[in-house]
Amino acid sequence: MTAAAVMLAASITACGDDSDSGSGGGAKTLTYWASNQGASIDFDKQTLQPELDKFEQQTGIKVNVEVVPWSDLLNRLLAAATSGKGPDVVNIGNTWSASLQATGAFVPFDDATLNSVGGKDRFVPAALAAAGAPGQPPTAVPLYSLAYALYYNKKMFADAGVTAPPTTWEELIEVGKKLTKGQQWGLAVEGANPSENAHHAFAFGQQWGGEWFDASGKPTFDTPQNVAAVKRYIDFMAVDKIVNPSNAEYAQNQSVADFANGKAAMLLWQAAGNAFKAQGMAADAYGVAPVPFPATAPAGGKKVNSMVAGINIAVFKHTKDKDAALQFVKFMTSDAEQVQLNKTYGSLPSVTTVASDAAFQAEEQKVLAQVLATSAAPLPQVAEESKFETLVGTAMKELFADAASGKPVTEQAIKEKLSNAQQQMGS
């Protein structure tokens, strides 16, 4: 009932939008849904508007932008895909690529389409690989690139006599124990955020030799490797006690705030510099290092310490002016805009041509770029990916809740939760 009501409502409101997204006689107008990248929706509007004005000057195509919060974006995209009404150009989180690709509502970027926006070789290969299922033309092109890194508080490290950031989990635990005292904790995690949990499950899983889907796209959640990987992550709180139990209820970036306010010494996050700045933390107060690995690689473990994170730009098939929409995609992925926008958002360019620009030579950007180039892998590009994030991420949220209340988190308990999640995938 809810589903029907929401879809009906969505199609009614989408009809209302329709009038201004079409290509009228003279002036062309596009509607663009941008994801929220900066500290606020207003910040994003102020960042994007001058660029859109520039685009209108160059091409005569007007772009109406709406910045959509992440919590609404997927539902709004679905409603637009269902009704065939809505914006022309949209941003999508790259982990949704294969899921959204399966809807068939987006213009596929085959070779000809890619050529019209500058060619396949312009884009960072890893980022393009995370834009759709393997063997199919990408459903979008990458716009902003991100990766996970280890952020650490320089002063706390110096005070504890730690001279270099940890490169192995064993070192991280040791350092974390030194830094956990009083109101201060070694590491902060976002325990009640399913997406965040699932991203770590993926990277840890790779390091422990696990896969969340087999080659045919079937879920393989409860393998011993995945159980060990999830246990390692939860144990930071449950066994090593370097994470504040309160983090088990964090879902609104409180862990970022804790790090920025000196309540935690380390944080695993993607391109967090901007968020720290918004919280008033100076750029020279923290250091950035690649996410650690186990000291001795478990059997089958891969040298992967981040997912290929990023935001893509896609064109709806229902657009009335595909050429204008592609022109806009080309503009947004042009050298000048890539430097301008990624510099503002603290993310990395998705095109290879501007990687050496001065805007991306800060310590944080250099580490992220190196991770993306050498040790990042895309999340499983299967249509069921969004289900994986919810089910496994939620299972981990429950495990964190157990750990926080002092319940032992055994391998058996983890395996049960993961098996249960896997069974629900089949439905």
Contact positions vs other proteins (CB under 8 A): 1-8, 74-75, 78, 81-82, 84, 99-100, 102-105, 192, 194, 244-246, 248-249, 251, 383, 386-387, 390-391, 393-394, 397-398, 400-402, 404-405, 420, 423-424, 426-427
Q: What are the distances in angstroms from CA 88 to CA 75, 119, 314, 328?
A: 16, 21, 9, 10
Residue with smaller CB distance to other proteins, 357 or 398: 398
Contacts with 366 (C-beta within 8 Å, 6 or more apart), sequence order: 360
Report, in Å, the least distance between residue 424 CB and other proteins.
5
Is 221:212 a contact under the CB 8 Å cutoff? Answer: yes
Residue with smaller CB distance to other proteins, 163 or 427: 427
Whose tokens are 């088990």? That residue is 248
Residue with smaller CB distance to other proteins, 95 or 306: 95
Residue with smaller CB distance to other proteins, 24 or 104: 104
Is 89:137 a contact under the CB 8 Å cutoff? Answer: no
State how far Cα 406 lies from the chain centre.
31
Residue with smaller CB distance to other proteins, 140 or 391: 391
Q: State the Cα–Cα distance between residues 81 and 376, nearest whole angstrom.
A: 30
Report, in Å, the least distance between residue 76 CB and other proteins.
11
Half-sphere exposure of 263 (CA within 13 A, CB side): 15
Residue with smaller CB distance to other proteins, 8 or 283: 8
Eight-class DSSP state of 93: E
Residue with smaller CB distance to other proteins, 293 or 316: 316
Eight-class DSSP state of 162: -
Q: Which two tokens stand for residue 190?
A: 């976002």
Q: In terms of Cα–Cα distance, which of 272, 302, 289 is closest to 376?
A: 302
Query: In 180-253, which ranges are continuous DSSP H helix?
Result: 194-207, 224-238
Half-sphere exposure of 147 (CA within 13 A, CB side): 30
Residue with smaller CB distance to other proteins, 240 or 402: 402
Report, in Å, the least distance between residue 363 CB and other proteins.
31
Report, in Å, the least distance between residue 122 CB and other proteins.
29
Report, in Å, the least distance between residue 116 CB and other proteins.
23
Q: State the Cα–Cα distance between residues 30 and 164, nearest whole angstrom.
A: 50
The CA-based diameter of the chain, rounded to the nearest angstrom, is 69
Report, in Å, the least distance between residue 394 CB and other proteins.
4
Report, in Å, the least distance between residue 260 CB and other proteins.
15
Report, in Å, the least distance between residue 256 CB and other proteins.
15
Q: Where are the beta strands (DSSP E) in 154-230?
A: 185-188
50 class by beta-carbon count within 10 Å (0-12 exposed, 13-18 middle, 19+ buried): exposed
Is 293:203 a contact under the CB 8 Å cutoff? Answer: no
The total of other beta-carbon atoms located within 10 Å of residue 59's CB is 15
Q: What are the distances in angstroms from CA 65 to CA 1, 36, 51, 58, 389?
A: 32, 12, 11, 17, 29
Report, in Å, the least distance between residue 238 CB and other proteins.
14
Q: Which two tokens stand for residue 303?
A: 């040298």
Report, in Å, the least distance between residue 28 CB and other proteins.
25
Report, in Å, the least distance between residue 179 CB and other proteins.
18
Residue with smaller CB distance to other proteins, 82 or 113: 82
Residue with smaller CB distance to other proteins, 25 or 426: 426
Residue with smaller CB distance to other proteins, 289 or 401: 401
